[in-house]
Amino acid sequence: NVGMDCGDVRVSVANGRLEVEAPASIEVFNSAGVLVARAADGSLSVDLSSGIYVVSAGTAILKVVL
């Protein structure tokens, strides 16, 4: 299990599941720039394959490695 906070954005990864909590909408992109998940309500939980992802939530942009 790995977790991190960036301002009001909380990201955690465990067993291939990405969880994000933020006060804004959330978008997750794969390393090719393709949108793979989106949540308008500020809460996201999604199973992803191994890889590098970019999480965008409000003004925060985070790189996540699964």
Taking CA atoms, 25 is separated from 21, 51, 57, in Å, by 9, 22, 6
- With a pLDDT cut of 70, the percent of the chain lying above it is 97
Q: 14-32, pLDDT tens digit by residue?
A: 999 999 999 999 999 999 9
Q: Is the pLDDT of residue 55 over 80?
A: yes
Please report, in angstroms and rounded to a whole number, the separation of the first and last CA atoms in the chain.
11
pLDDT at 7: 78
